[in-house]
Amino acid sequence: MSVYVLEGLRPWVIQRVSGVYIALFTVYLIYCGVSAEQTGFELWRAWLFDPVNSVGVGLFIIAVLFHAWIGIRDVILDYIHNIMLRIFILALVLGVLAGSGLWAFRILAFRILLLSVVN
Amino acid sequence: MKDKRPVYLNLFKIRLPVAGMVSLAHRASGILLFIAIPFAVYLLDLSVISSDGFAEVMTILQHPLVLLVEVMLVWALAHHFFAGIRFLLIDADIGVEKTQAKYGAWLVVLASVIIVALFICELVR
């Protein structure tokens, strides 16, 4: 079976590169959270509007989507052998990830960037 | 391909070494984190809509049952983080040798427990 979705080396590399970025950005997120002297709605929005953080969060979301897809895909391929069930669950996972990704993009693009510019 | 060989894979009778447990837990924590993604996006959305939404997120995050889920997710994130670093090091041929692999695995377990303890301390403070 040679379907792109089941192949090996490229996902292996993507998994590691995205993993490193996710790990670094998670440390940055925790640092920002812990070192914040004040919290609140306006500060939270301002933090997300900051160019470094907007781009960082955007990349983080993309990295998480790829990382989760490859990881969950591997688990499904290992444990679910019935081909129809496998395709069904893979599609379900892809749907959840694509949906979450588009939703997150919508938040970042329209609720944060556009709205902040309009105001 | 038909394979008639018997397979013995009773997970309750296999005693995994600690490195095996860490590997298994890496998968389990990854699945937990995956399930958390849509909920995290929902909370992100709510938190940026309005200050009421932001306050609502804060209330949700302090609900006792949600706190329980948070503790579980903090463990999942910490374990996945440290076990991931360990696997990257093993890819680079660091810590492959049997004793080192064992100590590395224990270090992952210990580090995740410390992170969970810190999180709980922060909660009750």
Percent of chain B whose predicted confidence (pLDDT) is above 90 = 82
Distance CA B17, CA A102 (A): 41
pLDDT-derived band at A104 (thresholds 50, 70, 90) equals very high
Give the angle A32-A19-B93 at the CA atoms, nearest 5°: 125
A12 vs B: CB within 8 A: no
Instruction: Note the pLDDT tens digit of each residue in A50-77.
Output: 999 999 999 999 999 999 999 999 999 9
User: Is residue B119 situated within a structural domain?
Assistant: yes
A71 vs B: CB within 8 A: yes
Write out the two tokens for B78.
Answer: 């910490």
Q: Which of A3-12, A28-37, A102-111, B28-37 bottoms out in mean pLDDT, i.e. has the lowest?
A: A3-12
User: Is residue B81 situated within a structural domain?
Assistant: yes
Distance CA A52, CA B93 (A): 34
Contact B81 A23 (CB under 8 A): yes
Write out the two tokens for A19.
Answer: 């993993």
- Reference A54, options A114, A99, A7; nearest CA is A114
Higher pLDDT, B12 or A14: A14
User: Is residue B105 situated within a structural domain?
Assistant: yes
Q: Residue B104's domain spans which residues?
A: 64-124
Give the angle B112-B117-B121 at the CA atoms, nearest 5°: 150
CATH of domain A9-118: 1.20.1300.10
Locate the domains of chain A by residue range: 9-118
A104 vs B: CB within 8 A: yes
Percent of chain A whose predicted confidence (pLDDT) is above 90 = 81
- pLDDT value, residue B41: 98
